[in-house]
Structure 1
Amino acid sequence: MTENTVDAFSLPVLERRSPSLTLRRLADLPVVVVEHPEARAALTLQGAQLIAWQPAGERPVLWLSGASAFREGKAVRGGVPICWPWFGPVSSPSHGFARISAWTLDAHEETAGAVHLTLTLRSDARTRELWPHDFTLTARFTLGRKCEITLTAEGDHTSTGALHSYFRVGAADQVSVSGLGDHYIDKVRDGAEGVQRGDLTFPGHVDRIYTRPQDAALVRDPTLGRTIEVRHHDASDAVAWNPGAKLSTEMADVPDDGYTEFVCVETARITRPLTTTENTPTAFGVALSLEHP
């Protein structure tokens, strides 16, 4: 695929599970597609990765790279990848194995306002080679005019993670983000600490971990005339990222001009890891909604 983005809703229907839920395939990857009166959405069973969401009557909210391979075991660029049980290149694979593992669709429910999905990933011999812990990881989605994602970890372990949201924008260098808090770790400057003054903008490569975010960040996009509210639940950090022009041309799964079409504002547990015991699961999540001036 050479287009910058992918239309999951044009994929052929392989199986209908309910009035709003169908199973389809994007190259090698099984895809669950939601077409509900209040919203459309799609997610891959690999990674339990939301790759599309748009409330009825709205433009798509998430960006998905058409340059992704869409192959088993390969990370998909865009949507909302689940980074777990570690964030970043601290081990291999980068950002953990959850986003390249096959999840199980355990439950789905339709109401007048939304579709609710529950997907599960459990430890096995393959995951124990990468990370020597038993676990159950559950991702719950509410997909309507608001999009909510909650990630729950169970077991006896400590982990980090993020819901790595890619937001589709009209022009990244015109976007501003408020609500990130005042302190950040700047990964572009080798982990130097910084103080945020005013809103964040994206004039070039941005890669920051904000360690004291407010409960909600506002992604203001004057080009598309909308604001995306990113409301964090039980998170310790918010991550802001855009590769900028130079890095975008070096990334095989991002079109050369792809960096102009998205910004990432992620809900994360990095500086305060998820610590679980056999009797105490730990969760964090995000709720996304749109506002118009």
Structure 2
Amino acid sequence: MTSPADLAQLLAAVPGVVLRSSDELYPGRGAGLPVLEIQNAHGRAVLALQGAHLLSFVPQGGRDLLWLSPLAKFNPGKAIRGGIPLCLPWFGGHPDKSRGLPAHGFARTSDWQLESAEVLADGRHQLVLGLKDTLLTREMWPHHFHFRFAITVGSELTVMLEAEHQGHVPVEFTAAMHSYFAVPNVAECVIEGLAGCEQINTLGGITRLHNEGDVVIRDVHDSVYLDVPAVQIIRTPSGQTRIDSDTRSAIVWNPGTNALKGGDIGPAYTGFVCVERGDAFDNAITLKPGEVYRANMTISG
């Protein structure tokens, strides 16, 4: 992780970005992790250095578009429930189940470095975090890499995920920006922009379907939609959230009443829906040595 002294030096020239402990913003939730609070005339965001994990985004005068579980814990090496976790270099379970590797890769629980931070001419902030391979990551994924995650905080939130393959052999790569979006009641939201897509329902095995229309959440929902349009819109009785991305997959998830059995969501499951953009399942990428994968996403109210 970037040392406190290096962080202080980097941020001294960037007004509106403050290094805090998660305990200051979310007291009593675990051992605590360093987070960056970013605020300007256009909006506010909170970003954990562990996982390059966005926890909150509030456009000026608006509501938080992201959902963070009231039961979320902030502990080193443990995934945080909510916000936008980064799932890479594999999405879901690792293909070799015998190895016992963590679901959704290692990036979301790794310590990322703050590589740059600046105030743009229009008053927005742009930050870039990076993650490079280590002995530990190469035990799980035997390749040299440089991952980067750039966020731009304004009236919209724009992010870019980049994976540079620095190894010597082609490698299969999957990724998702596992976005948890806040909704008043998941049972009353409608997700537009997935009609006509192939749907892979992962509940109780793998079932392939043709999705005919808008997506609504009846109870437990866990499906991957392939070759999706750029834009999805989450509509609720009180407003909407727009997701715009150049990735090819969308994963829609909510645990439904299964969340009541324990874990770090509980009855709060009614307050979010995951509409995750990325490239997974049939949309997996094969990266050749020297190739760079890029995925862009913008969210707005």
Compute the displacement of 1:37 (Å).
0.9
TM-score, normalising length: structure 2:
0.87
Range 187-196 or range 75-84, more displaced: 187-196
1:153 aligns with 2:177: no
Q: Could you say what secondary structure the match of 2:92 adopts? A: coil
Find 1:275's aligned residue among 281, 286, 294: 286
Rounded to whole Å, the distance in 2 between the matches of 1:96 and 1:54 is: 28
Rounded to whole Å, the distance in 2 between the matches of 1:251 and 1:93 is: 20
CA contact (8 A) 1:181 1:212 kept: no
CA contact (8 A) 1:181 1:211 kept: no
1:105 aligns with 2:117: no
TM-score, normalising length: structure 1:
0.89
Structure 1's consecutive aligned runs of 4 or more residues displaced over 3 angstroms after TM superposition are 14-17
Structure with a larger share of its residues in helix:
2
Q: What CA RMSD, in Å, does the superposition of the two structures yield over aligned residues? A: 1.5
Amino acid at match of 1:281: V
Partner of 1:177: 191
CA contact (8 A) 1:159 1:274 kept: yes
Amino acid at match of 1:83: C
Compute the displacement of 1:250 (Å).
2.7
Rounded to whole Å, the distance in 1 between the matches of 2:286 and 2:147 is: 13
Q: Deviations over 1:181-239 (max 9, x none)?
A: 421000114110112222101110000000121110010011xx211111111x12100
Compute the displacement of 1:284 (Å).
1.1
Partner of 2:46: 42
Compute the displacement of 1:159 (Å).
1.1
Amino acid at match of 2:114: L
CA contact (8 A) 2:195 2:213 kept: no
CA contact (8 A) 2:195 2:214 kept: no
Where does 1:16-95 land on structure 2 (aligned, <5 Å)?
A: 17=12, 18-26=14-22, 27-90=31-94, 92-95=101-104
Query: Percent same amino acid at aligned positions?
Result: 34
Compute the displacement of 1:282 (Å).
1.3
Q: Which runs of 5+ in 1 are unaligned?
A: 1-13
Q: Deviations over 1:19-51 (max 9, x none)?
A: 210000114211011011100001100000000
Rounded to whole Å, the distance in 2 between the matches of 1:203 and 1:276 is: 37
Where does 1:257-272 land on structure 2 (aligned, <5 Å)?
A: 257-270=267-280, 271-272=282-283
CA contact (8 A) 2:226 2:283 kept: no
Q: Which runs of 5+ in 2 are unaligned?
A: 1-6, 23-30
